[in-house]
Chains A and B, each alone.
Chain A
Amino acid sequence: MSNGYHIVVCGSLVPDPLQTLEPVMAPDGPGLKNEAMLPSVLDPWAAHALYEAAHLAKRVPDSKVWLASLGPKPKLQQLMMAVAQKAPFEFVAIDGSASGFADSFETAQALAKAIQSIPGLDRDRMLLFGGCSSASRDAGTTLSMVGALLGVEDQFLAVDEIEPDADGGFRVKERVEGAQYLVSRCAGAPAVLAWATGNLPEPPNNPQIGMANMRGILPALAKAPSVGALRGGLRFESVETPSQRRETRVVKDAGVEEIARELAEWIRG
């Protein structure tokens, strides 16, 4: 029996962070000004996960990578023109909103459902990769919920490194407070690894890889199920760009609780 990994990377698009991102309230809910027209990139944390997945698949024989993306279909297609060049993968597309205002639980449900129906995926060998957070919603909740919905209990939520052992297990380095790492050993798949930045540089584009991936990407887009706006039970009263404020006070030996109370008061205003 083969013991390579089946790595499913969850990652979708976010508006290019260099763009002017101005939240606006539209009749059908909040969004960003001119959102549909802004160029998108693969969510940076998810992108690290993809590069790490490709790297791991190269090191561990008989491994395979899928990229599961939930986003507006035409935008996903445009995104793939760049992302498909980075690494070999099979594409799983779900047509729906990738907005930062979508509900992360519904997003997780849609992803879990799509992953369950990937043909040939061996869930006992599955490593569920993705970003520890996203550049749009930044809630850091999606991946652990996808894992939970798929019954994967071993979850690592700010990963920078994975080092496979000879016996099918692996060591994981996770970011914790104060530039420290938490090192864990996991007996093996299945597991959730939500990536921080990882250690790998962005691979160069390679159109030859891209064109090979495209053979699967176009059919995947064509049959992508549609899940809509994913607003869930969320309701937004108003949206605005946070204004920058900074007030510094130097105090010696204040207790944690005292600091927390003061911060809470300050936020309440």
Chain B
Amino acid sequence: MTDPNSGATKPTLKTLPGDDVRQILWRYADRYDLQMVQQAARSVARGIVARLVADGARHTHEWTPEKQKLLEAMDEAGLTAVAIDPEHGGYIPGPKNLALALVAFELSWVDAGAATATLAGNLALAPIHERGTPEQVARYMGGAVPAGPGEDRRTLRGAFALTEPIPFVGVDTNTMAGRVRVAEWKDGEEPMLHVDKRGRFITNAAFANFACAAVASDDARIKGSCMVILEDTDEGVWDPGSPTLKLVHQLSATNDPIYSLKVPASRIIGGYTIQDGVIVPNYSHSEVIEAVFRRTRVTVGLMTAAKLLSAVEPIIRYHRQRFRGGQPQPGSSRYELGIQQREDALHRLIDVWATGEAAASLGFYTARLFDEFDPLEREKDRLLQERGIKGARAQMKAFAAVKDAALEFIRLEHLPEQKRDSARYEELKADSLVQFAVKDALSQVFCPATKLWNTGVGANTMREAVSLMGGYGITEDCPGFLGQKWMDAQLEATYEGPEAVQRRQLTVTMVNELFLAQFRHWIRQMRQIASRKPGTGACTLATAMELWLWTIEFLQSAQDAHGETLYHGQRQGVAFPMADALSWLLASRQQILDVLELEDKGGHNPLLADGLEGTVAFLTDLCHVMAARASGEVGRITAELVYGYQRHPSWDGDCDSCFKASELEAVASLVPGFDSSPLEVIQDDGGHADKAGPCVRFPGMERFRALRLKLDGCLTGCRLAKDRAAEALTQVMIPEALDYPR
């Protein structure tokens, strides 16, 4: 590629980024176990999964023997056991969020329904893993490991049953119809419970042999709510129910099951105590699901990211080959480039690609964050238990005491080493509760942001990808199954909590002081990056981050034209768009950080030496494109919120900056030229310029206006980056054919 200024040829992308690049970007270059799991998932995805889709297995809602083979293939490839700890028969030690994220990513590269089938199994195990008693963990985690040769047992496969038929559990998980009561309670024996649960849209229910069901007490002898493990061999009704007539993810099984079963009280997830003759579950259903969704939602976000990135190669191939009919000769640009001769097609594909990169960067970061967070959370639980701190209120009190130390740690962490009190820093770093508080504040933002942005913006962007394939895009034989992926993305935006649920969580967590303190440092970090790497768009992003920060602080103290508080949980019109805006920023920032990592570490991998500079240059341009896009969103949203709730000044009286025409003349006779300054003028007969009212000038918003203006200027160069990236698309070498069937 030729630089317009110097005329020199600059390195650019030679081949599509391969595993070596991805391993550095997403930080598992030194994790061979994860690389292997990824390869295993890839072989399932591009083998049996792709063949099933190509053979039309998605055409039926039923769970067919062909689809069942998918489970066996995943068992054989070790994917079923990825979530399980080695002591229960798994093979990956330690936290497994990144491992599961990679599996979901690889499967969704071809078909996210297949990913959902594994995800739902993990979702069913998650309540037990997070909150189960040691006996429950041993039985169900161990049982979920596929039976080996010669082992005479059936593999346990689970379903997670929370959602209920309308008008019960959906987004709102408290309006619950599922019930639990005491069936028998003989003196000195374990109580037997009767559980009634009807589920709606329950994944895996078609073949599951156990289910974790959320239920509320229907009996004075049981307190509150809980989650209970049900098995198909329990006494009573176990009806997998009819399949959901869904339009998406057909390689997973979704049903509306009916369970009415008698189970021992030991199936209450996390156990129970008996207080004054009442069974008190150790965890309510919401406490269990909170712990579960925190992690599993990240994986869903990565499903959509994989779709976007998987669309790049088939679109490039389609575009290049589009005009080879008729007379064009090999070597002519019509023959070689086809639709790639058209700038819009290139620019739109760059948008798809940049969104995919940002989504993957955000999702994988969040998965890694949870890998760091998991042990901290367990240590926190242990410490609190040791100190006898029980219940949500007591915990909140304990953490209020830690907050100042956590803020101090954040401040020290962002100081240069030589400037900070290293003894104090090390002390705080070793304090598990402080570390928990700091990471908790991040995870409470990054998990919903990943789920919200990746799936919501991802689904919209998939539509763009489909458009780029023309009519082919909406046929079943579109290479890369892009049409199916578009529709599937909408499910990813819905299940495990639709976008509203994620925005609701962000409403609370993004104004946590511990999060905002970290966010403030990131603004400086982006400026520092920008001074070293101006082409990343980091400076633009920093300004957009400042704008967001100013706005969130403003909204929390400001009132609307009616004197109502602007920012609070019920005012979704204010808080939800701010959640969206933040998610754009986080995605873009993470994308930049990953590309810097590649630039930094890529040189150590001799395989990359050849193309590293070009790959980094291209990915940097994608960062710039995304930073500009994110900043645009933030500018639009913040401006609407800051101004939109104020009443527009009118011509009839409430205008401070208006002059009567006669006044103006009088002043102008004393101050020559005064009447040529841009003032609002009302004629003596009440006439005025043709517009809604005098232009807005709100005192106290100068900083906001200055930032908005600055942000516009910060966009300088972003389109040059897009042009460069677009040109790279015309030159990059792609394989001769897709490596999975259609």
Contact A204 B77 (CB under 8 A): yes
Beta-carbon nearest neighbor of B82 in chain A: A207
Q: What residues on A are CB-neighbors of B76 within 8 Å? A: 204, 206
* Interface residue from A34, A208, A214 paired with B15 (Cβ < 8 Å): A34
A20 to B313, CA, bound (A): 13
Does B19 count as interface, using CB distance less than 8 angstroms? Answer: yes
* Given A20-B733, A74-B605, A205-B77, A37 and B36 contact (CB-CB distance below 8 Å): no
A12 to B685, CA, bound (A): 92
Q: Mark B701-742, 1 if CB is under 8 A from A, else 0.
A: 000000000000000000000000000000001111111000
Beta-carbon nearest neighbor of A204 in chain B: B76
A34 to B734, CA, bound (A): 11
Contact A78 B19 (CB under 8 A): yes
Binding stretch for chain B, among A44-52, A59-67, A81-89, A152-160: A81-89
Does B39 count as interface, using CB distance less than 8 angstroms? Answer: yes
* Given A206-B76, A206-B78, A208-B78, A84 and B36 contact (CB-CB distance below 8 Å): yes
Q: Report A197-256 residues with CB < 8 Å from chain B CB.
A: 204-208, 210-211, 214, 218
* Interface residue from B18, B33, B40, B91 paired with A37 (Cβ < 8 Å): B18
A38 to B611, CA, bound (A): 11
Does A185 count as interface, using CB distance less than 8 angstroms? Answer: no
Contact A75 B607 (CB under 8 A): yes
Q: Mark B582-625, 1 if CB is under 8 A from A, else 0.
A: 00000000000000000000000111111100000000000000
Contact B91 A20 (CB under 8 A): no
Contact B20 A18 (CB under 8 A): no
Does A139 count as interface, using CB distance less than 8 angstroms? Answer: no
Contact B33 A207 (CB under 8 A): yes
Does A29 count as interface, using CB distance less than 8 angstroms? Answer: no
Does A55 count as interface, using CB distance less than 8 angstroms? Answer: no
Contact A18 B739 (CB under 8 A): yes
Does A36 count as interface, using CB distance less than 8 angstroms? Answer: yes
Q: What residues on B are CB-neighbors of A39 within 8 Å? A: 18-19
* Interface residue from A18, A81, A208 paired with B39 (Cβ < 8 Å): A81
Beta-carbon nearest neighbor of B611 in chain A: A37
Contact B610 A34 (CB under 8 A): yes
Q: Mark B73-84, 1 if CB is under 8 A from A, else 0.
A: 100111001000
Q: What residues on A are CB-neighbors of B36 within 8 Å? A: 81-82, 84-85, 205, 207, 210-211, 214
Q: How many residues of B contact A (CB 8 A)?
A: 35
Contact A37 B15 (CB under 8 A): yes
Beta-carbon nearest neighbor of B607 in chain A: A74
A39 to B73, CA, bound (A): 24
Best-surrounded residue of B36, B606, B608 (most CB of chain A within 10 A): B36
Does B43 count as interface, using CB distance less than 8 angstroms? Answer: yes
* Given A78-B20, A84-B36, A206 and B77 contact (CB-CB distance below 8 Å): yes
A191 to B313, CA, bound (A): 45
Does A117 count as interface, using CB distance less than 8 angstroms? Answer: no
Q: Report B653-712 residues with CB < 8 Å from chain A CB.
A: none
Beta-carbon nearest neighbor of B612 in chain A: A37
Q: Report A106-162 residues with CB < 8 Å from chain B CB.
A: none
Q: What residues on A are CB-neighbors of B40 within 8 Å? A: 85, 204-207, 210
Does B173 count as interface, using CB distance less than 8 angstroms? Answer: no
Q: Mark A6-45, 1 if CB is under 8 A from B, else 0.
A: 0000000000101110000000000001101111000000
Q: Mark B398-424, 1 if CB is under 8 A from A, else 0.
A: 000000000000000000000000000
- What are 29 A-B interface contacts by the 8 Å CB criterion? A18-B739, A19-B736, A20-B735, A20-B736, A33-B733, A36-B610, A36-B611, A37-B608, A38-B15, A72-B606, A78-B19, A78-B607, A81-B32, A81-B39, A84-B36, A85-B39, A204-B40, A204-B44, A205-B36, A205-B39, A206-B76, A206-B78, A207-B36, A207-B39, A207-B77, A207-B91, A208-B91, A210-B36, A211-B36
Q: Residues on B close to A: CB < 8 A?
A: 14-15, 18-20, 32-33, 35-40, 43-44, 73, 76-78, 81, 91, 605-611, 733-739
Q: Residues on A close to B: CB < 8 A?
A: 16, 18-20, 33-34, 36-39, 72, 74-75, 78, 81-82, 84-85, 204-208, 210-211, 214, 218
